Amino acid sequence: MKIHEFQAKEVLARFGVPVPQGIPVESAEAAADAFRRLAAPVAVVKAQIHAGGRGKAGGVKLVRSAQEAEAAARGMLGKVLVTYQTGPAGREVKRVLVEKGSEIARELYLAMAVDRAVGAPVLIASTEGGMEIEEVARRNPAAIQREICHPVKGILPFQVRRLAFDLGLGAQLKPAAAVIEGLSRAFFALDCSIAEINPLIVTKAGEVMALDAKINFDSNALFRHKDLMAYRDLNEEDPKEIEAAHHNLNYIALDGSIGCMVNGAGLAMATMDTIQLKGGKPANFLDVGGGANKEQVTNAFKILLSDRNVKGVLVNIFGGIMKCDTIAEGVIAAAREVHLAVPLVVRLEGTNVEQGRRLLQESGIRLQTAASLDEAAEKIVAQVR
Ligand code: GDP
Ligand code: MN
């Protein structure tokens, strides 16, 4: 689960990481008011979307008066911001953070993520902050320091000091250690998948603080952190994915034209691969699960068809826990209920497959059946072409 910058800063502050004072607002008038309340000569108005790269895209503006804050907020709110991380469609800005301006002496990079190769969380630091870490990794990999953390004990004091010195923060050892330890404690305590501060700044007065923050939580661990659910912003999520989650369907929207309804994640992956192999593009990943019933099949159909890019549907279901005739009944009922208007190819295999196929053929619904995954993929690709 992703959260906004202002929320990530709230989280980090709870773990002792200094952040600039800021007020999230949803209107231009409130932005002007926030500027006055901050009572600082300079403030920053920052678009709150679940993506970075806002600075270069006009989503971060320095302002010197309430009027300027209002104008900057008006220029962002309700507009679509396109950054290198949002993709060409961009994201609508519904909220801005008005923050006390900081006088920056240095911009650094500090993040924690799980290193799958090592099998442990790793702290990543660089003196080249404020820019994409991927870019630094390409251009100047020597500028990136890594500290592998003990998976239970977390980062150890000598590693904290070594990182602080690597970052050139020897003169600010105490505040630097507070930030590094705070980031690490937050990461472990809240089951983050990534926690990133970019830039971590040193101010002209010598303070060390998080000027920007990004945190993703491991969704599989959210049951342990019910309070974090308050941070969820449904505006930032695909409505089809939200609807699918309501029905216990594992659905991920993609950008192709063939809607897929499959049971089992492995079969779903194989189906997507085979579609690609035959020259088509899947519109989604959808695993209806081993025990999919008629309601779930119907809901899955509705979600698939609410995607305007879907020009055809491929159903590939293996009757194991559920029998093929039951699945066929579900498909038929769903196709009738949603008035299916795009080509449909169904491949069933497993228990009671003959009964299932017969039901489909006798249903009067316009569909093609296929005996193998290859054949099914070929047929649907030919139909949408
Ligand atoms: P991102 O582009 O989405 O990662 O947004 P950031 O929050 O990282 O801001 C981008 C850049 O704006 C930073 O790297 C800073 O250079 C600049 N910036 C942000 N806040 C301030 C501030 O308070 N004072 C100054 N001088 N620059 C800022
Ligand atoms: Mn940033």
**Which of ligand 1's atoms lies nearest the C-alpha of 102?**
23
Q: Which of 190, 214, 237 is the last residue of a domain?
A: 237
Number of domains in the chain: 3
CA angle 52–205–156, rounded 5-degree value: 65
Task: Return per-residue pLDDT of the chain as tens, 385 residues.
Answer: 999 999 999 999 999 999 999 999 999 999 999 999 999 999 999 999 999 999 999 999 999 999 999 999 999 999 999 999 998 889 999 999 999 999 999 999 999 999 999 999 999 999 999 888 999 999 999 999 999 999 989 999 999 999 999 999 999 999 999 999 999 999 999 999 999 999 999 999 999 999 999 999 999 999 999 999 999 999 898 888 898 988 888 899 998 999 999 988 999 999 999 999 999 999 999 998 777 777 888 888 889 988 889 999 999 998 887 788 888 888 898 888 888 889 999 999 999 999 999 999 999 999 999 999 999 999 999 999 8
259 and 367, same domain (yes or no): yes
Tell me the CA–centroid distance for residue 222 and ligand 2, in Å.
25
pLDDT of 297: 82
pLDDT of 340: 87
CB of 56 closer than 8 Å to CB of 23 = no
CA nearest to 2, candidates 252, 234, 254:
234
Q: What is the span of the domain harbouring residue 311? A: 238-384
Site to probe by mutation for ligand 1, drawn from 211, 214, 215 as the one with most ligand atoms within 8 Å of Cβ, is: 211
143 and 2, same domain (yes or no): yes
13 and 28, same domain (yes or no): no
pLDDT of 87: 85
pLDDT of 382: 97
Q: Is the CB of residue 54 below 6 angstroms from any atom belonging to ligand 1?
A: yes
Strands 91-92 and 144-148: unpaired
Q: What one-character DSSP code corresponds to residue 198? A: E
CATH number reported for the structural domain that contains residue 50 in this entry: 3.30.1490.20
Strands 43-47 and 60-63: antiparallel
Q: Is the CB of residue 345 below 6 angstroms from any atom belonging to ligand 1?
A: no
Active site residue ranges: 109, 196
197 and 285, same domain (yes or no): no
